[in-house]
Chains A and B, each alone.
Chain A
Amino acid sequence: MAEFGPTVLRVVRAVLGPADADDAWSETFLAALRAYPQLPAGANVEAWLVTIAHRKAVDVTRAAARHAVPVADPPETGAEADLPDLDLVAAVAALPPKQRQAVAYHYLTGLPYAEIAEILGGSADAARRAAADGIAALRRTIGANR
């Protein structure tokens, strides 16, 4: 389980942004530790962890909405020409949730769309489409900024 620590942190940072990522990571692994003895032998631990992380991220997002905290605007990126990654980070943050999740779960962990469909609900094709739409949107945004 420990080997997936970096991957899960990357995923929650992409899905939630840096501010809530640490708490989501901690809650994910605590929940996983609690449930670990019930995990069937041979289960895909990475997919299982991403599933838990997804639920924690949804909880965090809902709690934030309840407290009526406005979603922050993507950071200004115009002046950071030597740090192009920030454009991409901002563009990921600006994606609709389902596209952001599909992109993060597929491109940051390599999970197949069938697994991602289990996490997001819906079909594998829908998950693939959401990721493809997300990637297309990212390319448009990045392209427009450069």
Chain B
Amino acid sequence: MNDLLDAFPVEESDVDRLRGRLAAAAEAEGILDVAYRTVDTPVGPLLLAATEQGLVRVAYPNQGHDAVLQALADRISPRVLHAPARLDPVARQLDDYFAGRRRRFDVPLDWRLSTGFRSTVLHHLATDVDYGRTASYAALAALAGNPRAVRAVGTACATNPLPVVVPCHRVVRSDGAIGNYAGGVEAKRTLLDLEAA
């Protein structure tokens, strides 16, 4: 009875429509713990995820979107759904940013994936290193109150849960070299060139 599967075909579009309905119902009921979507950008498709508190994760394709979603399910809640509406504001702001029309992101952030000194570093980065500027790892360590913790700053940037929005691409090496980046060096260069234009 191999014909049975063929007798009940399921179109991708039907499932998408139902998933959309489910996301709306779950949001209304307050059981949509993590909403996600992707946006196409000059640095590749970015995964965006938000809790009810705010944007909680931005991920580059090289970080593996499926792996990132699994990690969100494990660390925050298994109630993870593709639900673009919650991410619409940040998606619009990213569009504007990549078009050169926006220099600062104005969306609520959920910092729960970043703790301790790493969180301190990222908060300073988000408020003290403006669009179009760069800071060295050493300078950021000093800003965060621990000038000797240069390596820890590198780790904080490498594990930044909110790249692009929290601008770890603006952190470069003291000798002027561009340094590493969670989204790859090419993405870092693209962002720095965009902001220098």
- B78 touches which of A26, A29, A36 (Cβ 8 Å): A36
CB contacts under 8 Å to B, within A1-45, are 1-2, 5-6, 9-10, 13-14, 22, 25-26, 29-30, 33-34, 36-37, 39
Q: A135 on the interface (CB 8 Å rule)?
A: yes
Chain B count of residues within 8 A CB distance of the other chain? 24
User: What is the interface of chain B mostly: helix, strand, loop, or mixed?
Assistant: helix
For residue A48, which residues in chain B have a CB less than 8 angstroms away from its CB? none
Asked if A26 contacts B21 (CB within 8 A), the reply is: yes
Q: B196 on the interface (CB 8 Å rule)?
A: no
CB distance from A35 to the nearest CB of B (A): 10
Q: A103 on the interface (CB 8 Å rule)?
A: yes
Asked if A2 contacts B19 (CB within 8 A), the reply is: yes
Cα–Cα distance between A33 and B19 once the two chains are bound (Å): 12
Cα–Cα distance between A26 and B1 once the two chains are bound (Å): 28
Cα–Cα distance between A128 and B14 once the two chains are bound (Å): 31
Candidate in B8, B10, B31 with the most chain A CB atoms within 10 angstroms: B8
Asked whether A135 and B25 contact (CB < 8 A) given A13-B8, A37-B78, the answer is no
**Sample of 6 A–B contacts (CB below 8 Å):** A9-B14, A22-B18, A26-B22, A39-B78, A103-B1, A107-B1
